[in-house]
Structure 1
Amino acid sequence: MKICIYGAGAIGGFIGARLARAGEEVSLIARGPHLAAMKAKGLKLLSEEGDFTVTPRCAADPAELGPQDYVVLALKAPAVAGIVEQMQPLLGPKTAVVMAVNGVPWWYFHDLDGPWRDRRLKTVDPDDRQWRGIGPGRVLGCVVYPAAEVAEPGVVRHQSGDRFSLGEPDGSKSDRAVALSRAMIAAGLKAPVKPDIRTEIWVKLWGNVAFNPISALTGGTLKRICEDPSTRALARSIMNEAEAVANKLGVKMPIDVERRIEGAAGVGEHKTSMLQDLERGRPTEIDAIVGAVAELGDVVGQDTPYIDAIYALVRQKAALLGVYP
């Protein structure tokens, strides 16, 4: 299969390296020193399971690669709209686009039975660029669990996790989802095809909507946030609001809020991705992780005062740091 990883940084590089080693026809899209290093020496993956180097085709311009069977978008949510036009040469009539992106997806209401079917979300796709340019019919949902980092240009260090849950928006076990799942499993990854990918999105989002902005505002790690009674209570209030929104969308969380908080505490002295982005002066996923949950609350008629407040605060902090919008 021809699989293009668009955004071959930490997570994209991890996926691409594993698939390339397994023999899939992988290409990587990247930029800057990371791209130059991969072109010169290949992509090296560091892991407790053993280090290895692969030499897939690497490019900055998708037009060099042509139509693919799958395009895995492994980008920060705010970056996706900006590459829609550029990625068009990768899209053939049957190309699937795997959205390995955090937060509420722009395609959330596609093929979703009920009164909001095919509704658009302004916080994550304000001008419908993704809906029109990618098309929800191409989408395979994906929830990303591993942690990785770019250790240096051309080198990705895998830190933990190997699961990428996949799912069709309509819940079907399609041939394309099964084929990709098998390829990823053959590459040493866990890639279950889920009948309800939206519930899995919500379980990950449930923690992110609280812990990411709290950490961005305070500088606290997950352990610190969960152990401090005041920030733990704030996280619980935000998560209760998010769960109420999810419930009105027909999603039932598989665990209770206290167990979810304890799970976060167990991660330890970990800085959330939003805090790390702010510290490094990079754009954050504020809208996809926090703002979109507030928008969904408006859609279903659920008040979200805690989410609205922390969304306003973290947006202003990011704006003052020059990384928002």
Structure 2
Amino acid sequence: MTDPSWRIGIAGAGAIGTTLAVRLALSGHAVGVLARGGTLDVIRRNGLRLTDLDGTHEVRVEAGGPGELGERDVVFLCAKAQDLAPLATAAGGMIGPDTLVVPIVNGIPWWYFEGVGGRNGGRTVQAVDPDGRLKALLPLDRVIGAVAFITAERLAPGVAHTANPLRMIIGEITHDRTARAERLGAALGRCGIATQVSDRLRDPLWTKVIANLTSNPLSVVAGATLRDIYGAAELSHIARQLLDEALLTAAAHGARVELDPAAFLAMGAGMGAVKTSMLQDFEKGLPLELSSICDAVIELAELHNLPMPLTKTIASLARFKSAQAAGQPIQETGAR
């Protein structure tokens, strides 16, 4: 890879993918966006548009379907956890022998137990990669971990909006300091995304996991925005209990989470009337990202015999509401 201009691949043209594509293109990088169907047609015809704290930006980028975009220096995989494996397959033509792969996903990633040893070293996170497909598709030595603190909404194909600062933390999943991670962090910083390179990536990862766990499923159950989840008396105490359960699990896995609960709730409420990505998906009738945000955390808790009763309850309620709204059969327990 050479600076300052890289060949960037963006796989997934949702809110996060569009945000990254626009910011990177504005910085002079050659951006190619992998998309399908009507979204691909719209991007080819109109380009991409992002409205953020700096204003409204419109850019033209290369766009193509699977196999139509050449190898890239860096490929960002921007997808829900349940869609990551098929997206990685579709993006295969962009991933060459020297390509860095940066998955942008919520929750516990499939690589969580890779690269750092310990008693669970190499263990598969069953909730997110039950058949080992992701591990087989994406060479671990080329994966750069990422934690994206970006609240964006997809308004239409190729159009995204965000009203908050853009921030990311990236790092090697081995917790090593490398020149490639530093170069990537610098490039992201230059394009307007405040980026920190961490040699303990799982620490900020848990901060994001906790933010997702305390807000996403509860937003579906209550139909609430971040302001209400963290600020309304009827909901904030539930978010606090979810926070306590997640903090215990993070600590059991050696994460150093520097988080003041009261400040965390206040910051969440201060985000305003923002709908979580899970609530947006629910309202659109899309599958919910419960496997990585809830199920994987519960799986990690069970490795240390930690109960997460409220987390399990809220996840079950969100899953029930999703199935009910989709008209799916409700699984009977057999109890009478």
Gap runs ≥5 in structure 2: 1-5, 330-336
Identical-residue share of aligned pairs (%):
35
| TM-score normalized with structure 1 length | 0.93
Per-residue Cα deviation, 1:216-264 (whole angstroms, up to 9, x for no partner): 1111222323344443222222211111110010012202222212221
Q: Does 2:65 correspond to 1:60? A: yes
Q: Does 2:230 correspond to 1:226? A: yes
Alignment match, 2:187: 183
Judged with a 3 Å threshold, the aligned counterparts in structure 2 of structure 1 residues 307 and 52 are, in CA distance, closer, same or farther, namely: closer
| Aligned counterparts of 2:198 and 2:215: Cα–Cα separation in 1 | 26
What amino acid sits opposite 1:14 in the alignment?
Answer: T
Q: Does 2:126 correspond to 1:126? A: no
| Aligned counterparts of 1:87 and 1:277: Cα–Cα separation in 2 | 23
Per-residue Cα deviation, 1:144-182 (whole angstroms, up to 9, x for no partner): 112223333333333322212111111122122122112
The one of 253, 259, 264 aligned to 1:260: 264
| Aligned counterparts of 2:47 and 2:87: Cα–Cα separation in 1 | 24
Partner SS state of residue 278, structure 1 = helix
What amino acid sits opposite 1:64 in the alignment?
Answer: E
What amino acid sits opposite 2:305 in the alignment?
Answer: G
**Shift of the alpha carbon at 1:324?**
8.3
Contact 2:231 2:266 in 1 (8 A): no
| Aligned counterparts of 2:315 and 2:322: Cα–Cα separation in 1 | 11
What amino acid sits opposite 1:57 in the alignment?
Answer: E
Contact 1:6 1:30 in 2 (8 A): yes
| Aligned counterparts of 1:227 and 1:147: Cα–Cα separation in 2 | 18
| Aligned counterparts of 1:242 and 1:25: Cα–Cα separation in 2 | 40
Q: Does 2:288 correspond to 1:284? A: yes
Alignment match, 1:299: 303
Contact 1:278 1:323 in 2 (8 A): no
**Shift of the alpha carbon at 1:309?**
1.9
Judged with a 3 Å threshold, the aligned counterparts in structure 2 of structure 1 residues 149 and 238 are, in CA distance, closer, same or farther, namely: closer
Alignment match, 2:248: 244
**Shift of the alpha carbon at 1:116?**
0.6
Gap runs ≥5 in structure 1: none
Alignment match, 1:89: 93
Number of residue pairs the alignment of both structures matches: 324
| Aligned counterparts of 1:222 and 1:137: Cα–Cα separation in 2 | 37
The one of 148, 152, 156 aligned to 1:148: 152
Q: Does 2:30 correspond to 1:25? A: yes
Deviates more, 1:152-161 or 1:169-178: 152-161
The two structures, once aligned, show a CA RMSD in angstroms of 2.0
Alignment match, 1:41: 46
